[in-house]
Amino acid sequence: MRNSILFNVALTLLFSSQIASAFPFGAGFLGKDIFGDTDRDLVHDTQEALDGTNPLLSDTDSDGLSDGQEATAGTNPLIKDSDLDGYEDGEEFAGNTDPLDASSVPSSGLSMILIKAFLDKQKAASQVSAEQ
């Protein structure tokens, strides 16, 4: 009987405490974040300060990937396009391409590049024929 009462008290304390309120990553009792990750991006606020990212924004560079996802992927959480190929890191992940490889672009992007190259070639050819 005594163990049952202690167990019930423990459960009551657990579910009314910061610990229960903080799962999975968030704010605990009275909004205090007991894990030290205010924006819930899985990067501790101290690490965000060291990295130069914003501990109040889960996606500092607004590229569609949280700072935690960027830390895992090795992309730069301060730059939207880590490989500088014209496609944001989030776009590349959505397109199953490598955001760290400039030659790896989303397939729709490659199609657009080919279409633009074709149109540029047609435009140049029509300018040459117009000059003749």
What are the residue ranges spanned by the domains of the chain? 36-131
Q: CA nearest 88: which of 72, 105, 108, 71?
A: 105
Higher pLDDT, 87 or 21: 87
Q: What is the pLDDT of residue 19?
A: 47
Q: What is the pLDDT of residue 118?
A: 77
Q: What is the pLDDT of residues 26-70, one digit of tens each?
A: 444 445 555 789 998 999 999 999 999 999 999 999 999 999 999
Tokens read off for 70: 């960027």
- Residue 29 has what DSSP assignment? G
Tokens read off for 124: 């140049």
pTM value is: 0.58
Q: What is the pLDDT of residues 93-128, one digit of tens each?
A: 988 999 999 999 887 655 666 666 777 888 888 777
Q: What is the pLDDT of residue 105?
A: 86
In angstroms, the Cα distances linking 47 to 23, 26, 52 are 20, 17, 8
Contact 64, 70 (CB under 8 A): no
SS3 of 79, please? coil
Q: Tell me what the mean pLDDT of segment 16-24 comes to.
A: 46
